[in-house]
Amino acid sequence: MDFDPFVLARIQFATNISFHILFPAISIGLAWILLFFRVRFTQTGEQAWEYAYLFWVKIFALTFAMGVVSGITMSFQFGTNWPGFMEKAGNVAGPLLGYEVLSAFFLEASFLGIMLFGKDRVSNRMHLISALLVALGTTLSAFWILSLNSWMQTPTGYYLENGVVMVDSWMEVIFNPSFPYRFFHMLIACLLTSAFLIAGVSAWRALRNVDGPATWKVMKTGVVIAAVLAPVQIFIGDLHGLNTLEHQPAKIAAMEAVWETEKGAPFTVFGLPDEASKSNRYAIEVPYAASLILTHDPMGEVKGLNEFEGEHPPVAIVFWSFRIMLAVGGLMLLVAWWAAWQLRNKNTATKPLLYSLAAMTFSGWVAVLAGWYVTEIGRQPWIVSGVLKVQDVVAEHSSATVGGTLFGYILLYGFLLASYIGALLNLSRKPAASLSLSAINAPQTVNKEV
Amino acid sequence: MEYWLPIIYMGIMGLALLIYVILDGYDLGVGMLVPLAGEAEKDMMIASIGPFWDANETWIVLGVGVLLIAFPTAHGIILTSLYLPVTIMLMGLILRGVAFDLRVKAGDHRRGLWNKAFFAGSLISSSAQGWMLGAYITGLQASTTSLLFSALIAMTLPALYLVLGCGWLLMKTDGELRNKAIGWARMAIWPMGLGLFMVSIATPLVSSTIAEKWFTLPNALYLMPIPMICLFCYGLIVAALNKPTMLDKNRSYLIYVSTVAICLMASLGLAYSLFPDIIIGGLTIWESAASVKSLQFTLVGVVITLPVILFYTYFVYRIFHGKATALSYE
C-alpha cells in the first residue's frame, strides 16, 4: 500500500500535538490550583493543605516534564515537516513563538526548580512567589501560542508581499478576532481538566482511605472549581461558536453538517455525514435548533457546505468531534453539580459519587482533544485561513521517512502515556507523608561544602 | 537596520546555542555517566542536576526559535535536511526528560528500566547533536566525506558533554563519587580533543573562502589567541586530571570552567568561519532574514527579557549553589 507523505506528515503532526496538549491542559490549571494550596497552607497552617500541595506538586512535576519534552518536538516540527509555513508566515509566527519562549518558557522552567526543590533553601515568601511565577509562566505561554493559533484561524493585521505575510499592526495580529474567545475557552478547559483530575484521583484515594483530610480538601477544591466553571465554559463556548460563524462559516457548516444553506436549520443530534451524497444518513434532528443556537433566532440563516465547494473541511470527523465535546462537557456539568450538591448538603460523598468522579478523572482530556479536533480540522484545507493551504507548505520527504518516524513516535507516545498513567496510579496509592519526608524536613546534606 | 538586524540575531542565536552546550552539556554528560555509578551515587548525580535541566534545555528551544524567527528560510532548509538526526535527538530528549520523574514515580520495580532510559536518552540526544553539528559544518551535503565526518562528530561530541558532566560533578559532589568523576574525565578527554581538532580543521577544508580567512596574514596573527587559549585550557584539564591536588581547595571549578572556555573559543572561531553565511556556501544571513518589521518587534522583547532571563538563571544557580543535597523527586 502506498501512503501519501502529505497525509503521513499531517498524521504525524496531529499525533505530536495531540500528545503534547494533554500535559499543558493539566499543568496550566494545576499550577494555579497548587498556588491555591500553598496560599491556604500559609494562611491556616493546616497540615492537610501542605499534604495536598506535596502530593500534587509531584504530579505537576511529572506532567510539566511531559509537556516540556513533547513541546520541544513541536518547535522543531515546523522546520522539519512544514518549512513553507515559516517561509510564508514566519513574520507572524516567528515573533509570537519567540515571545512565548522568552516570556514564558524560561520563567516556568527556572522557577519550577525552586518550587520543587528549593523549599529549604528559600523563604516561604520566595517559594510562594516561585509558585506564582510558574503559574503565570504557563498562562503566558498559553496566551502567545493561542494568539498564533487564533491568527491562523482568523488572520488580521497583515498584508501579502510576493506571497509572504508581512505585518501591518501587531495589536491586530495578537488580538485577532477569535483570540479572546479561544484563549478563555482554553484556559477554562485547562482548569476544568485539572479540576476533574484532582477530584477524580482524590475520589479514588478516598475509596482507599488514603490521606483523609487532605484528600477531602482536594476533592472539594476540584468539585467547586468544576461546578462553577462548567456553566461558564458552556457560555464562553457559545460566544466562541458565534465568533466562528462570523469568521469561519465553513467550519460551522461542517460542525453542524449543514449541506445546503437554509433558514431555520435543524440541529442534528445523531447522523452519519456522507460527503459523496452530501447528506446525513440516519439523522435525528431537532427542528430549528441549529439556527436558534447559532443565530439566536429560530428562523436565522445558516450557511451550508454548498457555499464552500472544494474548500470546506472533512465533515464527519468535525461533526463527531463536536458532538463528543458537547457530550463530555454536558456530563462534566452534571457530575460537578451532583457532587457539589452532595458535598454541600450532606457533607459527605456516597460511593456512587466517588466512583463517578473517579471515572471522570480524564474526562477533560477527551473534551480538550475533541474540541481541538473541531477547531483544527475545521480549519482545513487552510493552514492560515484564506491565505495559505496546508498542502503548499509541506516538506518533501519520502513516505518511508515520515512513516518510519511516525511509527516511532506512536510507539514512544503509547509507552509514555501508559507510564504516565501508571505513575499516577502508583502515586495515588501512597499517602503524601510517605512521599514527602525529605522535602519537608531540612535537607539531609550528604556532603557538606568543604 | 537591514544590515545590522540579521547580525544581531546571529549573535543572539550563537549565544543561546553556546549557553545550551555548556549548560545542557553537563546534564547530558551526567546522564551518560549514570550507569557507571552505584545506586546511591545515581540518586546523588541526578539530584545535582534536578533543579536545572529543564531550564537548561530551554536554551535549545531559544536557539532554534531565533533561527525560526530571524532566518525562516534557513530554518526550513537546515531542519528538513537534518530530519532524521533531529527526530532521533527529540526522541532521546523526550526519553531522558520523563525519566527524571518516572524513575522514582513509576514504582521501585521500574527504577532500573527508567535509569536505562535516562542513560539511553542522554546518549542518543548527545550523539544526534554531534551528527547535526557535523552535517551542518560540512555544508549539509550528502557526500560520503560529510557522512563520515558527521559520524565522527556524533561519536566525539558526547565526550565533550562527558567532560562537562565530570566537571559539574567535581563541583557538586564529594568523596568517592568525586574521585570517580576524575577517573571518568580522564577517559573522556581524549575523544573530546579529537572531536575539537576535527571540527577546527573541517571548515577550512570544506570551504576555500574559510581557509583564506584563517590562513592569510595579518588575520592569522589576530586569530592566534583562539587556538592558543583552547590549547592552554586543554593542557590545564589534562594536567589537573593527572594531578587531582590541583582541584583541591575551592578549585573544583577548574575542569568545568576550562571546558567552558574551550567551548567559547570554538564557537567564536566557528562564528568567524561562517560569517556571513548561515548555510556554508549556500545562503547568507541577509538572504534568509525575516522582514525588518518582524525582527524589530521581536528585538524589543529580546532586549527586555534576555537580561531578565540571565539574571534569574543566575539567581536559581545561586540558590542551589554548593554541594548537591539529596533531593526527592518522589
**Tens digits of residue pLDDT in B229-260:** 989 999 989 988 888 887 777 788 888 999 99
Q: Please state the domain extents for chain B.
A: 4-319
Interface test with A, best of B5, B19, B54, B319 (most A CBs within 10 A): B54
Tally of domains within chain A:
2
**Tens digits of residue pLDDT in B41-99:** 888 888 888 888 888 988 998 898 888 888 888 888 888 888 889 989 999 999 998 88
pLDDT, averaged across chain B: 87
Q: Are residues A428 and A303 in the same domain?
A: no
Residue-level pLDDT at A368: 95
In a domain, A151, yes or no: yes
Facing A447 at nearest CB: one of B76, B91, B173:
B173
Residues 6+ apart with CB under 8 A from A208: A429
The secondary structure of B274-312 as a DSSP string is HTTEEETTTEETTTT---HHHHHHHHHHHHHHHHHHHHH
Mean pLDDT calculated for residue range B300-325: 85
Report how far residue A326's alpha carbon sits from residue A391's, in angstroms, rounded to the nearest whole number: 30
Residue-level pLDDT at B327: 56
Q: Are residues A400 and A371 in the same domain?
A: no
In a domain, A202, yes or no: no
CA proximity to A35, closest of A113, A129, A131:
A131
Q: Are residues A368 and A427 in the same domain?
A: no
**Given CB atoms, is B61 within the 8 Å cutoff of chain A?**
yes
Kindly state the DSSP code that residue B37 receives in the 8-state scheme.
S
In a domain, A92, yes or no: yes
Facing B86 at nearest CB: one of A80, A101, A122:
A80
Q: Are residues A421 and A326 in the same domain?
A: no
The bridge status of strand A262-263 relative to strand B283-284 is: unpaired
**Given CB atoms, is B245 within the 8 Å cutoff of chain A?**
no
Residue-level pLDDT at A446: 35
Kindly determine whether residue B69 and residue A446, on different chains, have CB atoms separated by under 8 Å: no
Interface test with B, best of A55, A72, A122 (most B CBs within 10 A): A72
Domain that holds residue A46: 1-178+391-444
Q: Are residues A267 and A408 in the same domain?
A: no
- Report whether pLDDT(B178) > 90: no
Return the HEC string of chain A.
CCCCHHHHHHHHHHHHHHHHHHHHHHHHHHHHHHHHHHHHHHHHCCHHHHHHHHHHHHHHHHHHHHHHHHHHHHHHHHHHHCHHHHHHHHHHHHHHHHHHHHHHHHHHHHHHHHHHHCCCCCCHHHHHHHHHHHHHHHHHHHHHHHHHHHHHHCCCCEEEECCEEEECCHHHHHCCCCHHHHHHHHHHHHHHHHHHHHHHHHHHHHHCCCCHHHHHHHHHHHHHHHHHHHHHHHHHHHHHHHHHHHHCHHHHHHHHCCCCCEECCCEEEEEEEECCCCEEEEEEEECCHHHHHHHCCCCCEECCHHHHCCCCCCHHHHHHHHHHHHHHHHHHHHHHHHHHHHHHHCCCCCHHHHHHHHHCCCHHHHHHHHHHHHHHHCCCCEEECCCEEHHHCCCCCCHHHHHHHHHHHHHHHHHHHHHHHHHHHHHHCCCHHHHHHHHHCCCCCCCCCC
Digits of tens for pLDDT over chain A (450 positions)? Answer: 467 888 888 899 999 999 999 999 999 999 999 999 999 998 898 888 888 888 899 899 999 989 988 888 887 888 888 888 888 888 898 889 989 988 888 898 889 888 888 777 888 888 899 999 999 999 999 999 999 999 999 999 899 888 888 888 899 999 999 999 999 999 999 999 999 999 999 999 888 877 778 888 899 999 999 999 999 999 999 889 888 888 888 888 888 888 888 888 888 888 888 888 888 888 888 888 888 888 888 888 888 888 888 888 888 899 999 999 999 999 999 999 999 998 888 878 888 888 999 999 999 999 999 999 999 999 988 999 888 888 888 888 888 888 888 898 999 999 999 999 998 988 888 877 666 433 322 333 333 332
Q: Are residues A321 and A421 in the same domain?
A: no
Nearest CA in chain A to B75: A79
Judging contacts by C-beta atoms under 8 Å, the chain B residues touching residue A72 are 57, 60-61, 90, 93-94
10 Å CB burial of residue A395 (0-12, 13-18, 19+) is buried
Q: What percent of chain B has pLDDT over 90?
A: 23
Compute the count of residue pairs across chains A and B with CB atoms less than 8 Å apart: 245
- Angle, CA B180 vertex, CA B179 and CA B183 arms, to 5°: 95
Q: Are residues A396 and A355 in the same domain?
A: no
Kindly determine whether residue A62 and residue B174, on different chains, have CB atoms separated by under 8 Å: no
**Tens digits of residue pLDDT in A363-404:** 999 999 999 999 999 998 899 988 888 888 888 888 888 888
Q: What's at A356, amino acid-wise? A: S
Confidence of residue B297 (pLDDT cuts 50, 70, 90): confident
Q: Are residues A19 and A139 in the same domain?
A: yes
Helix H or strand E encompassing B330:
none
Kindly determine whether residue B305 and residue A408, on different chains, have CB atoms separated by under 8 Å: no
Judging contacts by C-beta atoms under 8 Å, the chain B residues touching residue A99 are 298, 301
In a domain, A205, yes or no: no
Q: Are residues A302 and A415 in the same domain?
A: no
Residue-level pLDDT at A266: 86
Residue-level pLDDT at B328: 53
Helices (H), B173-224: 175-206, 208-215, 219-223
* CATH number listed for the domain at residues B4-319: 1.20.1630
In a domain, A352, yes or no: yes
Q: Are residues A39 and A83 in the same domain?
A: yes
Facing B75 at nearest CB: one of A79, A106, A435:
A79
**Given CB atoms, is B91 within the 8 Å cutoff of chain A?**
yes
Residue-level pLDDT at A444: 34
Kindly determine whether residue B328 and residue A437, on different chains, have CB atoms separated by under 8 Å: yes
Facing B298 at nearest CB: one of A98, A110, A116:
A98
Confidence of residue B325 (pLDDT cuts 50, 70, 90): low
* Structure-block grid coordinates of residue B2: 537591514
Q: Are residues A4 and A81 in the same domain?
A: yes
Closest CA of chain A from B91, distance in Å: 8
Q: Are A339 and A352 in contact (CB under 8 A)?
A: no
Q: Are residues A341 and A430 in the same domain?
A: no
Judging contacts by C-beta atoms under 8 Å, the chain B residues touching residue A127 are none
**Given CB atoms, is B107 within the 8 Å cutoff of chain A?**
yes
ipTM of the complex: 0.83
Closest CA of chain B from A408, distance in Å: 9
